[in-house]
């Protein structure tokens, strides 16, 4: 396993703080109180989201990254809480929506961008399988590259572009969205045991899995994932992986 000076702190669900060098990125802020957002429809239960409260963490950051605008990655509570002039990096397809919400420093990333000595690369993602992945809309991952490299894969399943990203950037730390989120029909739309195991086999990076036990359609538990994998970090809310 590699060692790294980079670190990631799980806040809740896919909301993480990524530290690269002296710079901290807040990724996919979802700030709602438990039950404030509706349940994801057409799923095996109708529990309102999020399922759990925010942990007591220091939400200090230099810039915001949004992988995509699904409610469990960007919600009204986050939009209201963030400063309008925060540097906000996003997919090109969604930049206008952030401007319409009043954000004044929106920075769509086509391929890559730079911020405070960190190169930010936007990477491919596939939010499910077949037609369902198309219906879920565009999603992205992001690689943060400085002296150390962190790959936040976003809402994707294991497929060839994820393997290619690992080969291209050789990250020190990889963050996957697990939970095996699913609807009543079709295959899962985020990573499950097999997907995580495939990533684990493809890299010698530290691998951490988030996006678990916070949204009603994420059915794979942390304990199930820990029991079925080896050398994979599955942090609790508020826990940090890396240095």
Q: Give the pLDDT mean for 25-45.
A: 97
Residue 153 near residue 125 (C-beta atoms within 8 A):
yes
Q: What is the pLDDT of residues 136-183, one digit of tens each?
A: 999 999 999 999 999 999 999 999 999 999 999 999 999 999 999 999
CATH architecture of 7-235: 4-Layer Sandwich (3.60)
pLDDT at 17 over 80: yes
Give the chain's largest Cα–Cα span: 45
Q: How many whole angstroms separate alpha carbon 89 and alpha carbon 115?
A: 10
Q: How confident is the model at residue 31 (pLDDT cuts 50, 70, 90)?
A: very high
pLDDT at 14: 98
pLDDT at 3 over 60: no
Residue 217 near residue 72 (C-beta atoms within 8 A):
no
Q: How many whole angstroms separate alpha carbon 135 and alpha carbon 119?
A: 30
Q: How many whole angstroms separate alpha carbon 25 and alpha carbon 88?
A: 10
The two beta strands, 240-242 and 7-12, are antiparallel
Predicted model pTM? 0.96
The rounded percent of the chain whose pLDDT value lies above 90 is: 96
Q: How many whole angstroms separate alpha carbon 101 and alpha carbon 222?
A: 35
Mean pLDDT of the chain: 96
Q: How many whole angstroms separate alpha carbon 16 and alpha carbon 191?
A: 17
Residue 113 token pair = 């961008």
Residue 43: closest CA among 151, 232, 179: 179
Q: How many whole angstroms separate alpha carbon 221 and alpha carbon 231?
A: 17
- Greater confidence (5 vs 75) lies with 75
Residue 88 near residue 106 (C-beta atoms within 8 A):
yes
pLDDT at 23: 97
Residue 166 near residue 203 (C-beta atoms within 8 A):
yes
């Amino acid at each position: 396993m590699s060692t790294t000076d980079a670190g990631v702190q799980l806040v809740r669900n896919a909301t993480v703080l990524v530290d690269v060098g002296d710079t901290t990125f807040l990724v996919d802020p979802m700030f709602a109180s438990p039950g404030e957002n509706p349940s994801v429809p057409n799923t095996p239960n109708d529990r309102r989201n999020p399922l759990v409260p925010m942990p007591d963490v220091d939400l200090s950051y230099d810039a915001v990254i949004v992988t995509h605008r699904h409610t469990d990655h960007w919600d009204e509570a986050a939009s209201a809480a963030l400063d309008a002039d925060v540097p906000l990096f996003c997919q090109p397809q969604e930049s206008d929506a952030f401007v319409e919400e009043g954000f004044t420093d929106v920075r769509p990333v086509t391929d890559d961008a730079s911020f405070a000595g960190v190169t930010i690369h936007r990477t491919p993602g596939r939010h499910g399988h077949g037609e369902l992945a198309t219906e879920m809309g565009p999603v992205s991952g992001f690689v943060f590259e400085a002296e150390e490299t962190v790959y936040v894969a976003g809402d994707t399943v294991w497929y060839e572009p994820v393997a290619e990203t690992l080969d291209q950037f050789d990250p020190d730390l990889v963050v996957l969205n697990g939970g095996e989120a699913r609807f009543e029909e079709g295959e899962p739309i985020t990573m499950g045991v097999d997907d995580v195991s495939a990533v684990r086999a493809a890299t010698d990076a530290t691998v951490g899995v988030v996006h678990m036990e916070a949204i009603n359609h994420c059915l794979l538990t942390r304990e199930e994932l820990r029991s079925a994998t080896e050398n994979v970090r599955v942090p609790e809310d508020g826990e940090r992986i890396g240095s």
